[in-house]
Chain A
């Protein structure tokens, strides 16, 4: 082999690395099952658990009026099926009920409530919300505003709005929160498992010393990287297909986009996750630290900063820009767009380009680290 040949990327050498890696995977049934079945199991399990539909929020009512009007007001709360109105026990003060985590809100109707309404005055009703859980409290406050408008019925008047708002919920007309959670959950779970997979396998090679051996052969760093990543990309794609089935047939999430685009964005995303694992393993070279780093740079950001649950638009501008560095944030956009909105290439241009750039950066980072390790 001439030196020139050695410098160039050789597919054959990359392939032999890949072959070796495939053998590793097949020989180790633990990794294989883990990589293929874990994502679909986790997505299904947590898909059932994560549910943002609001219903049966416990509200304690202190009714000091005990009239027809006050009962009607309480019925307004229960009729939407969102709230369970429970009479407050006499022994506890309203605040105590919230202190003891018994309910999320207390409603206090003062005596004379019905009288005031009959006289055409405005009756004030006190409501205390548990702001310690500001998520639920915010939702309750939103509904209470709507209930206040509906409460004109208590005075025997038909609600008269000169302008009516007709809302059409597109892409998810029933506001089924599973449709929103599942595509996002798939991103989080497939991403973190892919990072773990490569972070571990390569860190183990460093610990065993077999990586040094590999580096002393004529194989170029890029060939090692390509050879290592290819089998795991295939494995990851397999798991994505399982997850896709679960989303479609277990949860009934529609898929309105193009499958080719889905495949493309999946490959791009898997590339970034696997490359991130590779970078971690090259930098740490030790399994324990690799694991800590994978969790801190992989699991937490993809859970918290990718728009999975906390909306990116609500972040301060600086942090919105910062999330652009995270591959899960882009795959999240692409995935939700493809599943629910039927987004096409024009609409997905930004996320796909971003994924491509992150891929290139991470891969060259890994290759560069490899190279510096090669030199004595």
Chain B
């Protein structure tokens, strides 16, 4: 191996892992955070605080309430159960929804054949608001169905199959994406700050004036971070598979290749960033300005289908977006070649462009 690069490699790696706090940041925190997010997060709306307003003698209304609570979606509202100021209940968050029976009672209006149940929904969270209505419709339909066993079944019955993730576990969806997020975060910040520090301390000038070639400097400064990123991959992958039981339906080499190309492209992103920053502070702010959009525009937290047309091209500049698609496809769907190669190619192309830009800017500093 080229001795210059070998020297860089040793120096950078020892510098990065010399500080025990840095070791914790690099190798422990990603694992802990992934565990935390995997255990805690669920995008299913549950535990909706429901208050049912009904007369004590209204049996059908009682059945409806019991059904709601038994469904697992609803829990009883908090606070004073005698409270009659519904707006206050919703405003304070003690209740998310209030179900109000017709004045004559649900049992009676059902016997008459028509009645109206009012549902007041706290729609300040639009997603939850919509879910509450859907759930309530379903529970109500069930209660009515039970009361009219002789009514004909509907003409159409949908048999729904949840493919790839039959029990609809959020962690199966989320954890692979979060893996990408962690790796992206670590590599971009580390690379950009390390080069910016050399700039700040003036040691970069020394490097440039040394007999090392520009490509040797760039490779020497980036390769260590590719290695660190690649060490993190099996760590987070282990958590994903062993702790959360995320299936691995594709080939390991597919995943390794995708991870390698991804780490390379995010390291080159960090390098490019550092060529623009004059100080560590600028590198850090720049790092945030790059990372935050990368995470937001990756499709990891929410789908990207609704982006306005005018800015639809922006996510295509984001390596994390390609990696999120790849890792989900490989782990959950077995890695389809029609998805693999275009996404890998795009990621590699981005890496090449960014490293070329960095190379030119470095050479520019030289002259």
> What's the least CB distance linking B70 to chain A, in Å?
17
**A6: CB under 8 A from chain B?**
no
Instruction: Scan B123-141; emit 1 where CB is below 8 A from any A CB, else 0.
Output: 1111111110111111011
- Asked if B125 and A180 sit within 8 Å, CB to CB, the answer is yes
> What's the least CB distance linking A111 to chain B, in Å?
15
- Asked if A132 and B119 sit within 8 Å, CB to CB, the answer is no
> What's the least CB distance linking B65 to chain A, in Å?
14
> What's the least CB distance linking A157 to chain B, in Å?
8
Q: Which listed residue (B45, B136, B193) contacts A291, Cβ 8 A?
A: B193
Instruction: Scan B183-199; emit 1 where CB is below 8 A from any A CB, else 0.
Output: 00110011001100100
**A112: CB under 8 A from chain B?**
no
- Asked if B91 and A122 sit within 8 Å, CB to CB, the answer is no
Within 8 A of A (CB), among B289-310: 289, 291-293, 295-297, 301-303, 305-308
- Asked if A144 and B160 sit within 8 Å, CB to CB, the answer is yes
CA distance A143 to B135 in the complex (A): 10
Chain A hits for B333, CB < 8 A: 98-99, 132
**A56: CB under 8 A from chain B?**
yes
Q: Which listed residue (B25, B47, B163, B185) contacts A289, Cβ 8 A?
A: B25
CA distance A243 to B179 in the complex (A): 31
Leading 9 A-B pairs by shortest Cβ distance: A131-B165, A169-B123, A319-B40, A151-B156, A51-B306, A131-B162, A347-B92, A155-B155, A172-B123
- Asked if A52 and B288 sit within 8 Å, CB to CB, the answer is no
Chain A hits for B334, CB < 8 A: 99
Of B109-117, B212-220, B227-235, B260-268, which binds chain A?
B109-117
Main secondary structure of the interface of A (DSSP, over half): helix
CA distance A340 to B41 in the complex (A): 25
**B5: CB under 8 A from chain A?**
no
A-B contact pairs, 8 of them (CB 8 A): A137-B165, A148-B157, A161-B141, A163-B109, A167-B133, A295-B185, A309-B302, A313-B47
> What's the least CB distance linking B312 to chain A, in Å?
10
Chain A hits for B190, CB < 8 A: 288, 292
- Asked if A55 and B173 sit within 8 Å, CB to CB, the answer is no
CA distance A266 to B305 in the complex (A): 33
> What's the least CB distance linking A184 to chain B, in Å?
9
- Asked if B93 and A337 sit within 8 Å, CB to CB, the answer is yes
**B159: CB under 8 A from chain A?**
yes
Of A10-18, A59-67, A298-306, which binds chain B?
A298-306
Main secondary structure of the interface of B (DSSP, over half): helix
Chain A hits for B116, CB < 8 A: 163-166
- Asked if B137 and A49 sit within 8 Å, CB to CB, the answer is no
Closest to A140 in B: B160
A interface residues, Cβ below 8 angstroms from B: 30-31, 34, 38, 42, 46, 48-53, 55-57, 73, 95-96, 98-101, 117, 120-138, 141-149, 151-152, 154-155, 157, 161-173, 175-177, 179-180, 189, 192-193, 196, 200-201, 204, 284, 286-289, 291-293, 295-296, 299-300, 303-305, 309-311, 313-316, 319, 322, 333, 336-337, 340-344, 346-347
- Asked if B280 and A287 sit within 8 Å, CB to CB, the answer is yes
Chain B hits for A179, CB < 8 A: 124, 126
CA distance A291 to B302 in the complex (A): 26
Within 8 A of A (CB), among B326-367: 328-329, 332-334, 336, 338-339
- Asked if A291 and B124 sit within 8 Å, CB to CB, the answer is no
CA distance A322 to B41 in the complex (A): 12
- Asked if B162 and A171 sit within 8 Å, CB to CB, the answer is no
- Asked if B303 and A168 sit within 8 Å, CB to CB, the answer is no
> What's the least CB distance linking A249 to chain B, in Å?
18
> What's the least CB distance linking A166 to chain B, in Å?
5
- Asked if A296 and B91 sit within 8 Å, CB to CB, the answer is no
Q: Which listed residue (A136, A292, A319) contacts B189, Cβ 8 A?
A: A292
- Asked if B156 and A336 sit within 8 Å, CB to CB, the answer is no
> What's the least CB distance linking B276 to chain A, in Å?
12
- Asked if A100 and B338 sit within 8 Å, CB to CB, the answer is yes
- Asked if A120 and B173 sit within 8 Å, CB to CB, the answer is no
**B12: CB under 8 A from chain A?**
no
- Asked if A291 and B287 sit within 8 Å, CB to CB, the answer is yes
Chain B hits for A151, CB < 8 A: 154-156
B interface residues, Cβ below 8 angstroms from A: 19, 21-22, 25-26, 29, 33, 36-37, 39-49, 87-88, 90-93, 96, 106, 109-110, 113-131, 133-138, 140-141, 144, 148, 152-166, 168-170, 172-173, 181, 185-186, 189-190, 193-194, 197, 280-282, 284-285, 287-289, 291-293, 295-297, 301-303, 305-308, 311, 325, 328-329, 332-334, 336, 338-339
> What's the least CB distance linking B207 to chain A, in Å?
18
Chain A hits for B325, CB < 8 A: 101
CA distance A130 to B119 in the complex (A): 31
CA distance A138 to B160 in the complex (A): 11
Closest to A156 in B: B155
CA distance A126 to B159 in the complex (A): 5
Additional 18 contacts, C-beta under 8 A, given A49-B296, A171-B90, A179-B126: A49-B307, A130-B164, A131-B162, A131-B163, A136-B305, A148-B158, A152-B154, A168-B121, A169-B129, A170-B90, A170-B123, A176-B126, A180-B125, A288-B280, A300-B33, A300-B181, A314-B44, A346-B88
- Asked if A52 and B127 sit within 8 Å, CB to CB, the answer is yes
- Asked if A42 and B160 sit within 8 Å, CB to CB, the answer is no
- Asked if B160 and A129 sit within 8 Å, CB to CB, the answer is yes
Chain A hits for B37, CB < 8 A: 300, 304-305
Chain A hits for B156, CB < 8 A: 73, 117, 122-123, 125, 148, 151, 154
Q: Which listed residue (A56, A122, A163, A311) contacts B45, Cβ 8 A?
A: A311
- Asked if A165 and B158 sit within 8 Å, CB to CB, the answer is no
Q: Which listed residue (A46, A99, A125, A171) contacts B157, Cβ 8 A?
A: A125
CA distance A144 to B308 in the complex (A): 26
Name the residue among A96, A346, A347 with the largest chain B CB count within 10 angstroms: A347
Chain A hits for B193, CB < 8 A: 287-288, 291
